[in-house]
Chain A
Amino acid sequence: MYIDKIRNFSIIAHIDHGKSTLADRLLEYTNTVTKREMKEQILDDMDLERERGITIKSHPIRMEYEFAPGDKYILNLIDTPGHVDFSYEVSRALAACEGALLVVDATQGIEAQTLSTLYQALDNNLHIIPVINKIDLPNEQREKVTKEIISLIGCQRNEIITVSAKTGHGVENLLQEIVVQIPPPKGDPEKPLQALIFDSTFDNYRGAVPHIRVVNGRIKSNDKIFMFSNSLLFDVTEVGYLKLKKEPQKELLAGEVGYVMASIRNVKDTRVGDTITTVENKAEKPLPGYRPAKSMVFAGLYPVNSDNYTLLRDALDKLKLNDSSLIYEPETSKALGFGFRCGFLGLLHMEIIQERLSREHNIEIITTVPNVAYIIYNVRGEKITIDNPSKLPASNEIERLEEPFIRCQIVTPSDYIGNIMHLCMDRRGINTEMEYIDNSRVNLNFEFPLVEIIFDFYDRLKTISRGYASMDYEFLEYRPSKLKKLDILLNGDVVDALSMIVHRDKTYYWGKKLVEKLRKLIPRQMYEVVIQAAIGSKAIARESVKALRKNVTAKCYGGDITRKRKLLDKQKEGKKRMKRVGRVDIPQEAFLAILSLDDED
């Protein structure tokens, strides 16, 4: 049967362990791409991804492989993003596969980032093929890494494949093993259609294009389809395979991976994890694992130059086409003018959006302090959700304040348990479980207020565990907390964009840290800048930036005006990037000061 010739798999790897290069090699060896067409790391679409060394958008690709003369197989490679902000997307991409290549760098061994995805893969019952890469390097330690792998996943020694993606050594063998070891998909093309959406892209002419794994049934042009998550109906205009370019097909059958075009105007109508079925022969139930999108982190985005408001709005509209998890709506700030309140999956997501705005749309923006959404029950019994700290009602109006809590899982070598427990306690974490995975690694379960995680928790965790710990989290519930609004004043004026909601026991801590950091970030200027942190009308911390008294080019003769002017050019460009609030010039970094505060552990 055709379905026996299909292999759907993903590649799990730590940053820089060679996932992209290996993918390139597979494309090459299956002649999916000719040597001439090969551009380095063809699957990574964006420069941003290249720079950060992570894959953000997946890009599935279908390869044809001749296992033996006349015996052809279809190999569908589905790429996965590698950051905790996107763990839901990862889980859905893995749900579309039957196997995964676990790629480990022969000189580095198993690293933390791999673990979380590996466990998800194991949870999804994927068959894992361990691959040791970079054996061409002189300092490779394949024996040591082999032992680590065996200890981690309990496989046999002969199941581990060694390759060098760079030279191509072992790649042919790997292809053979993919066919031999990874099971074919199970599914019945005659049953009612159930297709899993594991990703989608946006095409300016065709609208949203979901990438699907057909689990049961079949889908073809002119089918009327139904989305389980939102009950929307669409008419299919085209289906096809995803090779380097889209290849239209008559139909897609159970077990196959491909795309669907159905004139879907709004990208938010295609939800990752959703199930597609046909109207005529509707499936009884959707596939398991669907979760609606949830923004975890909110921030105000404002253009540095207020004239660019419309440009910002247009840019956000364009970004949203490719990123359905971004939400935004207009808001105003006394300090910053007109802007947008945006919701993100996490801080990394927020940083990506910021960089894309700057790079792809050339807009300099100010981002306010990121925050979470709070639920307030006021004295009149009304329930209000606020996603902007400046909208917090006066304390005498508030009956009860609730903040979102998450369930968090941290996997770490046992050496670092002490430091990590300390960090988590510091962040109001409650340890709910601790279990040993193997004799050196432990899985810690915590419940945290989400707000304690969104600021530099991940980075701190990495630092104190020397990069070995990894984490994953999901929303748990809202719980009441004793919280206060912390205001920042510059020369006596509240700068609403710098306000934060903090826990009552930490107001002094955050207040002091913030004003100290701001003092370092706000440059000296003609007027002294007095920085205060306040709760209500009470100032709790204070710093000042003393007035600048000297900035002069003493010598200006000899006629070389241009050289002297260049210094002024620099100063004038610097000023353009600052936001003026009252008489104070504030650099963009100051608005994000909170993100780079040092913890004294």
Chain B
Amino acid sequence: MESENLYLYIHIPFCNSKCPYCSFYSITDHTEELHKIYINTVIKELELYNPLLDFKSRILKSIYIGGGTPSILSEKNLDFILKNIHSLFPGDENTEITIEGNPESLNYENLNFYKNSGINRLSLGLQSSMDKNLRTLGRNHRLSEINNILSIIKELNFPSVSVDFIYNIPGQTMDDLKKEFEFIKIYKPEHLSFYGLSIEENTPFCSLYKNYDAQEELYNNMYMEISEKLLSMGYEHYEISNFALPGHGCRHNMAYWDFSEYLGLGPSASSYIDEKRFKNSSSIKDYINNIKNKNLAINNPEKRNNEDLLLEKIFLGLRTKSGINLEGLCREYNLNLQELRDKIKYYIPETLWICSDNELSLTTEGFLLSNTITVEVFNLFQTSGIYRK
């Protein structure tokens, strides 16, 4: 955990259409006028945090512009955001700056602008290279358009490109995965996120695919296949759903899993500052109002206790390849390390985890059961020896 570093997230809650599986906050009814008001509000919110966080004393490790669909924001507006951020923080060549984009709204103009304005990481919401899957997912782009965008990206030489994939799509077979691997082989993105489709509440997919999550076997087979294949292509499986070529892990996302301090700007954005978690409301109207009244979300942090903190440490740690440090945790919670290790050995099947040098981490098979294992490890902590509450 680093105390002087800061990671910044900016939410762009605008889309041209809602994808049926998506549960992130955005609106489709927006105007350039609203965009302008919005970006001004975001910078205002940022400035309001300056007294508390003292930006000049911080190292800005990452800026992540997500959404919504950030790529529909005009270059002018994006420039405004970036310039204002840079003016508040000390200069740093090494800041990872990511923008999310979807193929429909990317073109040479904005891609070129991104490159020139210092954005060094592009996150592409591809989801699948197969048209039939794209149709099922309700996406408007097709493979032909993607190829076009990708060649532009290659031409512009972005230092790091990340591509999002979804698997376990209704109608998708094990065989179909091969097509995704072929695509990856051709374009060799530096970073990949593979998300198993989960049906989120309050999305159109929810009513369409009610019992879909029950398809355990296919999901698992696909997951194991993806991990194995990507490994053979040189990617490191560094988090449950994330893969990267050496040196290209997503620095911003790592902050979420290792208890670094991050600040999220815009409606629905979450933050972790000063060991407090807080989140902005999911409504542009309320957000603009709140910032106008200088009403910051940090004033309403979420209620958490020591039990919650321990659970988070185990939950987030086990998501990553590096896992959790059992020795450190045992010292912190006053537990007998050997006793804990013996219990883990007894209660959790050995194919699911590895423990080397007292670092407990999960195997690929273990990742699939990470929730169960997290709860079990937490339970073992609570029932071992003197647990300091």
Report if A572 contacts B (CB, 8 A): yes
Least CB separation from A307: chain B residue: B383
Chain B residues with CB under 8 Å of A559's CB are 9, 256, 262, 264, 269-272
Instruction: Known contacts A527-B349, A569-B311, A583-B347; decide if A550 and B375 are in contact (CB<8 Å).
Output: no
* Contact of B376 (CB < 8 Å), options: A526, A560, A564, A569: A526
Q: Are B352 and A526 touching (Cβ within 8 A)?
A: yes
Sample of 16 further A-B pairs with CB below 8 A, known A526-B369, A569-B308: A526-B376, A553-B370, A556-B256, A557-B256, A559-B264, A565-B315, A568-B315, A568-B371, A571-B371, A571-B372, A571-B375, A572-B311, A572-B378, A572-B379, A575-B375, A575-B379
Whole-angstrom CA separation of A561 from B311 in the bound complex: 11
Whole-angstrom CA separation of A520 from B315 in the bound complex: 29
Docked complex: B154-197 residues within 8 A CB-CB of A: 195-196
Instruction: Known contacts A526-B349, A526-B352, A565-B311; decide if A554 and B241 are in contact (CB<8 Å).
Output: yes
Whole-angstrom CA separation of A550 from B197 in the bound complex: 13
Chain A residues with CB under 8 Å of B277's CB are 561-562
Report if B374 contacts A (CB, 8 A): yes
Whole-angstrom CA separation of A568 from B379 in the bound complex: 12
Least CB separation from B278: chain A residue: A562
Report if B368 contacts A (CB, 8 A): yes
Whole-angstrom CA separation of A560 from B281 in the bound complex: 12
A-B contact count (CB 8 A): 106
For the complex of A and B, 3 pairs with smallest distance between CB atoms: A559-B270, A560-B270, A551-B371
Least CB separation from A583: chain B residue: B347
Docked complex: A546-601 residues within 8 A CB-CB of B: 547-562, 564-565, 567-569, 571-572, 575, 583
Least CB separation from B256: chain A residue: A559
Binary A-proximity of B259-286 (CB < 8 A = 1, otherwise 0) = 0001010001111100001010000000
Whole-angstrom CA separation of A522 from B127 in the bound complex: 37
Report if B202 contacts A (CB, 8 A): no
Whole-angstrom CA separation of A571 from B9 in the bound complex: 30
Whole-angstrom CA separation of A571 from B378 in the bound complex: 11
Q: Are A551 and B262 touching (Cβ within 8 A)?
A: no
Binary A-proximity of B304-328 (CB < 8 A = 1, otherwise 0) = 1000100110011001000000000
Whole-angstrom CA separation of A598 from B198 in the bound complex: 35
Whole-angstrom CA separation of A560 from B316 in the bound complex: 12
Instruction: Known contacts A549-B369, A571-B372; decide if A561 and B195 are in contact (CB<8 Å).
Output: no
Of the A-B pairs whose beta carbons lie under 8 Å apart in the complex, a sample of 18, sorted by A's number, is A526-B372, A527-B349, A551-B371, A552-B240, A552-B367, A554-B241, A555-B198, A555-B241, A556-B257, A558-B9, A560-B270, A561-B270, A561-B312, A568-B374, A568-B375, A571-B372, A583-B346, A583-B347
Chain B residues with CB under 8 Å of A558's CB are 9, 24, 66, 256, 270
* Contact of B219 (CB < 8 Å), options: A550, A560, A568: A550
* Contact of A550 (CB < 8 Å), options: B66, B272, B369: B369
Report if B342 contacts A (CB, 8 A): no
How many residues on chain B are close to A (CB under 8 Å)?
A: 49
Smallest CB separation, A483 vs chain B (Å): 37
Report if B143 contacts A (CB, 8 A): no
Smallest CB separation, A412 vs chain B (Å): 43
Docked complex: A22-55 residues within 8 A CB-CB of B: none
Chain A residues with CB under 8 Å of B66's CB are 558
- Chain A interface size range: 20 to 34
Whole-angstrom CA separation of A523 from B257 in the bound complex: 30
Chain A residues with CB under 8 Å of B264's CB are 559
Smallest CB separation, B341 vs chain A (Å): 16
Chain B residues with CB under 8 Å of A527's CB are 349
Docked complex: A533-551 residues within 8 A CB-CB of B: 547-551
* Contact of B368 (CB < 8 Å), options: A552, A560, A565: A552
Q: Are B348 and A526 touching (Cβ within 8 A)?
A: yes
Chain B residues with CB under 8 Å of A568's CB are 311, 315, 371, 374-375, 378
Whole-angstrom CA separation of A572 from B305 in the bound complex: 15
Smallest CB separation, A173 vs chain B (Å): 58
Instruction: Known contacts A568-B374, A572-B311; decide if A554 and B196 are in contact (CB<8 Å).
Output: yes
Chain A residues with CB under 8 Å of B368's CB are 549-552
Least CB separation from B367: chain A residue: A552
Chain A residues with CB under 8 Å of B311's CB are 565, 568-569, 572
Whole-angstrom CA separation of A556 from B216 in the bound complex: 20
Whole-angstrom CA separation of A550 from B257 in the bound complex: 21
Report if B253 contacts A (CB, 8 A): yes
Least CB separation from A570: chain B residue: B375
Least CB separation from B166: chain A residue: A554
Q: Are B271 and A551 touching (Cβ within 8 A)?
A: no
Whole-angstrom CA separation of A561 from B217 in the bound complex: 27
Whole-angstrom CA separation of A552 from B224 in the bound complex: 14
Chain B residues with CB under 8 Å of A564's CB are 315
Least CB separation from B11: chain A residue: A558
Report if B220 contacts A (CB, 8 A): yes
Q: Are B195 and A555 touching (Cβ within 8 A)?
A: yes
Chain A residues with CB under 8 Å of B220's CB are 549-550
Q: Are A548 and B369 touching (Cβ within 8 A)?
A: yes
Smallest CB separation, B99 vs chain A (Å): 15
Q: Are B302 and A562 touching (Cβ within 8 A)?
A: yes
Chain A residues with CB under 8 Å of B304's CB are 562
Binary A-proximity of B204-230 (CB < 8 A = 1, otherwise 0) = 000000000000110110000000000
Smallest CB separation, A199 vs chain B (Å): 45
Q: Are B9 and A552 touching (Cβ within 8 A)?
A: no
Whole-angstrom CA separation of A87 from B315 in the bound complex: 55
Least CB separation from B264: chain A residue: A559
Instruction: Known contacts A568-B311, A568-B315; decide if A554 and B279 are in contact (CB<8 Å).
Output: no
Q: Are A561 and B371 touching (Cβ within 8 A)?
A: no
Least CB separation from A574: chain B residue: B375
Chain A residues with CB under 8 Å of B195's CB are 554-555
Smallest CB separation, A390 vs chain B (Å): 25
Binary A-proximity of B78-97 (CB < 8 A = 1, otherwise 0) = 00000000000000000000
Least CB separation from B263: chain A residue: A559
* Contact of B371 (CB < 8 Å), options: A547, A553, A562: A553
Chain B residues with CB under 8 Å of A556's CB are 240, 256-257, 316, 319
Chain A residues with CB under 8 Å of B257's CB are 556
Chain B residues with CB under 8 Å of A565's CB are 308, 311-312, 315
Binary B-proximity of A365-380 (CB < 8 A = 1, otherwise 0) = 0000000000000000
Whole-angstrom CA separation of A551 from B270 in the bound complex: 25
Chain B residues with CB under 8 Å of A562's CB are 270, 277, 279, 302, 304
Q: Are A552 and B371 touching (Cβ within 8 A)?
A: yes
Docked complex: B220-260 residues within 8 A CB-CB of A: 220, 240-241, 253, 256-257
Q: Are A552 and B346 touching (Cβ within 8 A)?
A: no
Smallest CB separation, A589 vs chain B (Å): 19
Whole-angstrom CA separation of A558 from B269 in the bound complex: 7
Chain B residues with CB under 8 Å of A547's CB are 349
Whole-angstrom CA separation of A560 from B8 in the bound complex: 14
Docked complex: B336-368 residues within 8 A CB-CB of A: 346-349, 352, 367-368
Chain A residues with CB under 8 Å of B271's CB are 559
Chain B residues with CB under 8 Å of A551's CB are 368-372
